[in-house]
Amino acid sequence: MEDKLVTLAIRTYHRAQMIKTVLEEKGIEAVIQNLNLEHPEMAVGVRVRIKESDLPNALKIVEEMESAWESEDEPVGKHVLIPVDFADFSQKVIDFGFNIAANIKAEVTLLHVYFSPTYTISLNNDVSMYSLSDGELLRRIINQANADADNLKNEIKRRIEAGELPDLEYRIELQEGVAEDQILDYCKKNRPDLVVMGTHGKKVSNDLIGSVTAEVMDMSAVPVLGIPMKVSLDSVSAIKRVAFMTNFDQKDLIAIDKTIEICNSKELEIFFIHASEKNEAWDEVMLAGIKSYFASHYPNLVTHYALIGANDKTEIIDDYLKKKNINLLAFNSRKRKLLSRIFNPGLAYKFILHSDTMLFVTHV
C-alpha cells in the first residue's frame, strides 16, 4: 500500500524550508505545499508534508528545532498584535491598536487567519491527498486573502499619510488554520505586549462557545483588549472610566498597572469592584486598602470602590457598569482547563455574550 502523505507542520515559508532541509539531512523526504510567491513580504503559512511512516522521527526533529527557535526568538522592543478579518469593523479595532501602540512606543502586527475547507489536519490523524477541486478552492482563498491584505495595506498607508493613524512600523501576516489556534500560537512564539481584537458584543443567542476573542482571552498569557462592534468610543484616549474586578489578590496590582498604561488618560477614574454573595466587613477593609494604595502611588488618579452581587451574575455587573457609565471593564484571569471552560464558561465568555462594554483581560 502506498505510504500516505501527512502534514507535519504549518509554518512560514522561511521556517518550512529550514525544517525541510534538516529533515532531508536526516534521510526523511519532505515537500512544501500551498506556497504563494506572489506576495513574499507577507508571511503566508505553508505546509510541510512527509510520509506517514516518517512521522514519529520527524516529530522529534521538529520539536527540537522549535525549542531552539523559542530560545533564540527573544522579543525585540514592544509590539501589539491586531487580528483582523477584513470586515468593516476591523477599522475601529485597528484605530485602537495603532493608538495604543503609539502610546507605548510599539510596533504593530496585523494577523489574518484564513480557514481552508481542507484544514482538517491533526498530527495524530491520517490526512488524504488534496483533490483538484480542493486545491483550486484553496488557491482562490489564498488569492482573496492576499488581495484583501493589499487593500488593507493601501488603506493604512493612506490613513497614515492623512494623519488619521499614527506613523508606526507595521507588518501584515497571513496564516492558514483555525483563528484562535493561530492567534494563540503567535502569542506563544512572539509574546506581543498586547492583543487588540474585535468582538460581536451582545448577542441574542446563547452561543457561549465559539467566540474567538473569548477563547484567546481565556487561554493566552498575553493581555487582550476586546472591542465590541457597538462600542461608541473612537479612540483609547476616550476611555475615562474603568471598572476593575478585584479578588484582593496581590497580582491585581500588576494587572491594574497594565490597565492604566494602555488607557493613557489624565482624566482616568478607576472603579474597583468586588463581586461576592455576602457583604462582609473584611471586603470593605480590603477595598479601602486598595484605594489607599493607589492614592499614594497614583495621586492624580481618581478611584472609587464598591461591593456588588456574585461574580457569576453578569447582568448585575453589567447594570453597575451602565449606571456608572463605565467605558472599560478590566480583570485578571487565570487559564483554565478545557472541560472547565466548556461546562463553566469564564467571565470573558459571559461578558462577550451579555455586554457591549470593552474588556481588558490580563494573565498575571
Q: Is the dihedral of CA 202, 204, 208, 213 positive or negative?
A: negative
In a domain, 322, yes or no: yes
Nearest to 177 by CA among 6, 347, 7: 7
Secondary structure of residue 355 in the 3-state scheme: coil
Secondary structure of residue 243 in the 3-state scheme: strand
- Helix runs in the chain, H state only: 13-25, 55-72, 90-103, 132-161, 179-190, 212-219, 251-263, 281-297, 314-323, 338-343, 347-354
HSE of 319, CA atoms in CB hemisphere, 13 A: 9
Cβ contacts of residue 186 below 8 Å, gap of 6+?
Answer: 81, 109, 111, 173, 175, 192
CA 265 from chain centre, in angstroms, equals 24
Query: What pLDDT score was predicted for residue 143?
Result: 85
pTM for this prediction: 0.72
Q: Is the dihedral of CA 122, 124, 129, 131 positive or negative?
A: negative
Task: Tell how many helices (H) and how many strands (E) occur in the chain.
Answer: 11, 13
Q: How many CB atoms lie within 10 A of CB 257?
A: 13
In a domain, 88, yes or no: no
Query: What pLDDT score was predicted for residue 356?
Result: 81
In a domain, 126, yes or no: no
In a domain, 111, yes or no: no
| CATH number, residue 326 | 3.40.50.620
Q: How far apart are CA 28 and CA 9, in angstroms?
A: 14
* Residue range 88-141, pLDDT digits in tens: 778 889 999 999 999 889 999 999 998 765 544 443 444 444 444 566 777 788
In a domain, 106, yes or no: no
Q: How far apart are CA 329 and CA 320, in angstroms?
A: 11
Query: What pLDDT score was predicted for residue 183?
Result: 92
User: Mind giving me the DSSP string for 121-148?
Assistant: --TTS--PPPPHHHHHHHHHHHHHHHHH
**Are the C-beta atoms of residues 43 and 174 closer than 8 Å to each other?**
yes
In order of 1, 26, 88, 250, 256, the CA distances from 245 in angstroms are 60, 53, 31, 13, 10
* Rounded (10°) angle between helices 90-103 and 251-263: 100
In a domain, 196, yes or no: no
Q: How far apart are CA 111 and CA 105, in angstroms?
A: 19
In a domain, 235, yes or no: yes
Secondary structure of residue 194 in the 3-state scheme: strand
Nearest to 268 by CA among 303, 227, 223: 303
Q: How far apart are CA 141 and CA 148, in angstroms?
A: 11
Domain count, the chain: 1
Query: What pLDDT score was predicted for residue 342?
Result: 40
CA 293 from chain centre, in angstroms, equals 31
Query: Range of 271's domain?
Result: 226-362
Q: Which residues of the chain have pLDDT under 70?
A: 1-3, 12-13, 34-46, 69-76, 116-135, 201-210, 276-284, 309-313, 334-347, 349, 353-354
Query: What pLDDT score was predicted for residue 82?
Result: 96
In a domain, 125, yes or no: no
